[in-house]
Amino acid sequence: MKFFSFWRSLASFRVRIALNLKGLSPEVIDVDLMKGKQREDAYRKVNPQMLLPALVVDDGTVLFQSMAIMEYLDDVHPHPNLIPSEPLARARVRALSGIVASDSHPLIVPRVREYLEHDLKVDEAGRTKWIHNFLGAGTKALETNLASSKETGRYCQNDAITMADICLVSHAVGCNFFKYDLAPYPTVRRIVEACMQNEAFAKAHPLKQPGAPASV
């Protein structure tokens, strides 16, 4: 397998955690988003959508979209499972994941921040307000669900790590990148801290990847 990713990409981070949890070590190929490498021919041939990550499996098929890639990894490498087996639990894990991957992250990705800056001439303070607004809405939704559900345990869904934890951690790291304060969200913080004690999460952290700075 070949894993096209970049240290700063939060969607790549999600897949990197899943790969680590399952003990998979594909060849990693860097696509530097900060130099616009995702728009150059070499990567466009892999993923014409020019978004990260992409996972090329052994028959050459290119997988894209972090959620679809994690579900695929869970289908073909089911141990440990990232999606529980009971239907209502599966639905909750996928819904919590969706708060991150459909409602929050898409609003703060580079192409959106660039549109705000270059097309709408929104200054840095205005862009930060935008980012905090949508990261905040997502964080509140996560905290409300996690703090009130009897399904919540050491992790999002009881006491086993699931895709929801992966998404939650990527969200929390995004909040850190953009200095959105997580202090008012104790359940989110507690679960993120529990996850980060796991080596699969810790070594996947964006700032621990080759080429990453010491801080953002």
- Contact flag: residue 131 with a second copy (CB under 8 A): no
Rg for the chain (alpha carbons), in Å? 17
Report how many residues bind a second copy under the rule CB under 8 A.
46
Kindly tell me which of 63 and 172 has the beta carbon lying closer to a second copy.
63
In this structure, what are the phi and psi dihedrals at residue 64, rounded to the nearest 5 degrees?
-140, 170
Q: Which residues contact 70 (CB under 8 A, 6 or more apart)?
A: 14, 15, 18, 82, 163, 166
Closest CA to 17 of 64, 59, 53, 56: 53
List the one residue from 102, 179, 193, 208 that touches a second copy (CB under 8 A). 102
CB of 87 to a second copy, least distance (A): 4
List the one residue from 67, 168, 200, 204 that touches a second copy (CB under 8 A). 67
| Residues of span 3-42 touching a second copy by CB under 8 A | none
Q: Which two tokens stand for residue 21?
A: 């949890």
List the one residue from 71, 160, 189, 207 that touches a second copy (CB under 8 A). 71
Q: Is 64 helix (H, G, I), strand (E, B) or coil?
A: strand
- Contact flag: residue 94 with a second copy (CB under 8 A): yes
- Contact flag: residue 126 with a second copy (CB under 8 A): yes
CB of 30 to a second copy, least distance (A): 22
Category of 61 on φ-ψ map: left (φ > 0), alpha (ψ -120 to 50) or beta:
beta
CB of 210 to a second copy, least distance (A): 27
Amino acid, res. 99: I
The one segment of 23-31, 126-134, 165-173, 181-189 that binds a second copy by CB under 8 A: 126-134
Kindly tell me which of 125 and 214 has the beta carbon lying closer to a second copy.
125
Q: Which residues contact 210 (CB under 8 A, 6 or more apart)?
A: 7, 30
- For 80-112, letters b (16+ CB in 10 Å) and e give eebbbeeeebeebbbebbebbbeebbebbbeeb
- Contact flag: residue 110 with a second copy (CB under 8 A): no
Site for a second copy, rule CB under 8 A: 48-49, 51, 57, 59, 61, 63-65, 67-69, 71-72, 75-76, 87-88, 90-92, 94-95, 97-99, 101-103, 105-107, 111-112, 115, 119-120, 122, 126, 129-130, 133, 137, 141, 144-145
